[in-house]
Amino acid sequence: MSLTASKLRQDIYRILDTVLETGIPVDIVRRGRILRISRTERAGKLDSLKRRGFLKCDPEEIIHIDWSGEWKP
């Protein structure tokens, strides 16, 4: 969809809601150049973390370790 800046100004909230709902970007023509309004998804806080291989064993082995001998009353 392509609009002029004047048309965007008239219906800005309806146009923004349409982009949010459908995901279809809208092009705005301003002074002979094209601007695009599009929806992007925010990355989660943990998505940028690198996967690190600290465990040298199967994680299931850690769950079943008996630490009762290590505790001193």
Q: What is the pLDDT of residue 26?
A: 95
Query: Does domain 1-39 match CATH 3.40.1620.10?
Result: yes
* Tokens read off for 52: 């690190």
Q: What is the pLDDT of residue 8?
A: 92
From first to last of the 73 residues of the chain, give the pLDDT tens digit. 789 999 999 999 999 999 999 999 999 999 999 999 999 988 888 888 888 878 888 888 888 888 888 887 7
What are the Cα distances from residue 73, in Å, to 2, 18, 65, 69?
74, 65, 19, 11
Domain boundary assignment for the chain: 1-39
